[in-house]
Amino acid sequence: MVKRLLKRYGPLILALVLTLTVFAAGGEAEALTRTLRKGDSGDLVLEIKNRLYDLGYYTKSRKFGKQFNEQMEELIISFQERNGLEQTGEIDQATYDTLYSETAVKMPRPTLAPLATPGPAPEPDWPERDADGYLDGDGEYFYENDEEGLWIYLGKNLQIRIRRCRDERKELSWFETDIRTRNGEAFRTVATNPDKPGKQYRYPFDIAADEHFVLGFSDDFYAERMKKKSADRPGIIIRSGAIYSDLTNSKTGHHLPNLDMMAQYPDGSLNVYLCNELTAEELLEKGAVNVFSFGPYLVRNGEINPLVYDYYRSIEPRHALGMIEPGHYLLLSVEGRTRSSKGTMLQRVAEMMREHGVREALNLDGGNTMALIFRGRMLNKLATYKNKEFVRTVTSLIGIGYTDNIEE
């Protein structure tokens, strides 16, 4: 009886074992039992479709069927062409090995036309600086030039350089904030009422001034989602090593926010994760100090999130934080809903991040929540929503640096 069953179902069992193998991108591919072609179906076909999606050949959705159909055949031919393989539309061992290799050539995504390059910034009268550009000695140095759009802070362990940029052709204005730290200087978070998130709303510039932040900026606006107690989950929220929320989406998606995360670590690293990739406890075990949940993530390991090419196309004020390397960060604040700046889509923000060498980046809450505050003064213009010009009051903020030189 057993022999009969093995004889009859042995090949099926072998194929099932193969299809249940979890393949890691860049890992060594398993041997195929046979060439796959149009008309075949099964879990392995589905796994290969997901791999093609990761490489940019499929777009729009990761919800695939298990059928090797005509579209898949066409995409395999495209993959084979770009990777120097015989263009058969079938998955033989060579095609399969290349799919899962580190050198697999991705399908290039259409990029947006580049923005205008800002002109040279004025050169301030620099104080004494050390070899790394930090203030040589104690104290602090400020430079503010509203007309030219340049704001600078230098301290012993902190450098901040904010540049206002503009592209008249696109009717777009934005701020590029370059942040460099050393010796443990790090982002800090503050909540107006840590015991009752969603209570005590205040203007972000008032919060930043009271906390004496050199630089303050709006975050993931998590308390608003906690307060609503609706179907919207807050996401995984950690502040100063304490879990505020461990409720996140069970599946990834293209809704906004999709609750992708950015975790801040003591070594200065900022790493992004999918909404359901790690639990709050797992993030704490990894050493996360703060975790921000909004999303989607924009850049991961230097690669742009494929979702931004097909979704998030609306023109809005945008706000995103990225890491070039531990201790070196870029904050992008794009003005929108104003007479002089319409805003932009997330693809633009992701491409701007990557152009600046950002390796990890997360989309924070934009719209009328977006606020960029230097020495207690908000630099971005008020956005208009429903015929009202305002910046949203919030219950939490991200900041860095400490100064008593706050503008009244």
Question: Domain segments of the chain: what residues?
Answer: 2-99, 141-400
What is the CATH class of 2-99?
mainly alpha
Give the Cβ contact number of residue 214 at 10 Å: 23
What pLDDT shows up at residue 30?
A: 53
What pLDDT shows up at residue 12?
A: 44
CA separation, residue 16 to residues 12, 41, 222 (Å): 6, 12, 43
- What pTM was computed for the model? 0.83
Residue % of the chain over a pLDDT of 70: 91
What pLDDT shows up at residue 68?
A: 96
Sign of the alpha-carbon torsion through 357, 175, 136, 408:
negative
More confident residue, 61 or 345: 345
What pLDDT shows up at residue 231?
A: 58
Give tens-digit pLDDT for 66-121.
999 999 999 999 999 999 999 999 999 999 999 999 999 998 888 999 999 988 98
**pLDDT bucket at 31, cuts 50 / 70 / 90:** low
Strand 260-264, strand 290-294: pairing: antiparallel
Residue 22 confidence (pLDDT) above 60: no
Distance CA 335, CA 340 (A): 9
What pLDDT shows up at residue 227?
A: 85
**pLDDT bucket at 2, cuts 50 / 70 / 90:** very low
Sign of the alpha-carbon torsion through 222, 228, 233, 239:
positive
Give tens-digit pLDDT for 345-369.
999 999 999 999 999 999 999 999 9
CA atoms within 13 A on the CB side of 101: 11
Edge-first strand order for the sheet with 318-325 is 141-145, 150-154, 158-167, 172-181, 328-334, 318-325, 360-364, 297-300, 303-304
Mean of all residue pLDDT scores within the chain: 91
